[in-house]
Amino acid sequence: MNYSFQFQVQAIVHTSFRQRHFSSFLRYTASRRNLEMEEVKDASDLLVGDPALMETKIEAIRLGGPQKLQVIADFDATLTKFSVNGTRGQSSHGLLQQGNPEYDAKRQQLYEYYHPLEFSPTIGLEEKTKLMEEWWGKTHALLVEGGLTYESIRQSVANANIAFREGVPELFEFLEERDIPVLIFSAGLADTIEEVLRQKLHRYFKNVRIVSNRMVFDDNGSLVSFKGKLIHSLNKNEHALDMAAPVHERFGDMDGPTDDNASLKKRTNVLLLGDHLGDLGMSDGLNYETRISLGFLTAVLVEGLKPPFVPVSYHYVIYSIETALFNF
């Protein structure tokens, strides 16, 4: 796939406001000033569950206008690349190096034990949810016990194998110009995500807010606790919307002005972006009128699982091991 993330998502937004007809999947080709939409009819790594339903949804979003739309996006392997320089990209949890090899090793051991369970087709949702709570809770405890510092986060991000998908900055700018909010909803670490945004995008977007596991530091920059509800891969939903906040400065100061989160609940048209079936719950608790979901189901294939259930879960699905590993 040689077209960027920006164009994939921007095409849906643009189509919602400008186009009345939609048959499969649209993409942009050409420069930002001279955008041209082209249908992709035979892309084996693109699936559209119900084209007729999509036409109805896009028309509803178009009629609602930008003022009723919000974008809800997962972070790891959705906004960021699944593969970077030919190797698996790191997550906001996985990139952290505490400066204490013993605790880094302990967190890696937890990953090796729990990660296969996250994708196991033989474990029921209730049991799997408990396992994810255990994993996240133990990991957070190790970060505190191991003496993680804010400076360690900065250094870890600087050395990390992580990158945004091509076109993400332009997409954020496109949405910012239209006053369409972006809610980054992640089971990762808010403070790490913010540092990735600073170091990789080098600018502040007033429309971007983050819901994730947020750290509390003391005056010396050492982690002392986490605040708010623990968010893991299977409990992401907008019941945690009260945790949404603009990008922070160090130790909890805001980079941008705070807005009433109630205004997000009034935006009842949603474009949802995720890479995990659990991400579909990110809009739960929001009384939305119309939702379009776009799934990057790379990990499903990499873990060796079959995707026949995918088209009925996400409205749009992008999945191809070769494409996902080398072209995203």
3-state per-residue secondary structure call for the chain: CCCCHHHHHHHHHHHHHHCCCCCCCEEEECCCCCCEEEECCCCCCEEECCHHHHHHHHHHHHHHCHHHEEEEECCCCCCECCEECCEECCCCCCCCCCCCHHHHHHHHHHHHHHHHHHCCCCCCHHHHHHHHHHHHHHHHHHHHHCCCEHHHHHHHHHHCCCCECCCHHHHHHHHHHCCCCEEEEEEEEHHHHHHHHHHHHCCCCCCEEEEEEEEEECCCCEEEEEECCCCCCCCCCHHHHHHCECCECHHHCECCCCCCCHHHHCCCEEEEEECCHHHHHHHCCCCCCEEEEEEECHHHHHCCCCCCCHHHCCCEEECCHHHHHHCC
Residue 156, CB-side half-sphere exposure with 13 Å CA sphere? 24
Distance CA(98)–CA(146), nearest Å, equals 7
311 has pLDDT over 90:
no
Look at residue 167 in the predicted model and tell me its pLDDT: 85
How many domains, in total, are found in the chain? 2
Look at residue 249 in the predicted model and tell me its pLDDT: 55
Same domain, 91 and 75: no
Average model confidence (pLDDT) for the chain? 79
229 has pLDDT over 70:
yes
Same domain, 313 and 172: yes
Look at residue 290 in the predicted model and tell me its pLDDT: 94
256 has pLDDT over 90:
no
Look at residue 228 in the predicted model and tell me its pLDDT: 86
Residues with a known catalytic role: 74, 76
pLDDT single digits (tens) 79-96: 998 888 888 899 999 999
Q: What are the backbone dihedrals phi and psi of residue 28, each rounded to the nearest 5 degrees, phi first?
A: -95, 140
Look at residue 276 in the predicted model and tell me its pLDDT: 80
Same domain, 229 and 171: yes
- 83 touches 296 (CB < 8 A): no
What domain range is 313 assigned to? 5-82+163-326
315 has pLDDT over 70:
yes
Same domain, 118 and 218: no
pLDDT single digits (tens) 19-59: 433 233 333 333 333 333 333 334 446 677 788 898 899 89
Same domain, 201 and 232: yes
CATH number, domain of 108, equals: 1.10.150.340
Confidence of residue 241 (pLDDT cuts 50, 70, 90): low
pTM of the model: 0.79
CATH number, domain of 280, equals: 3.40.50.1000
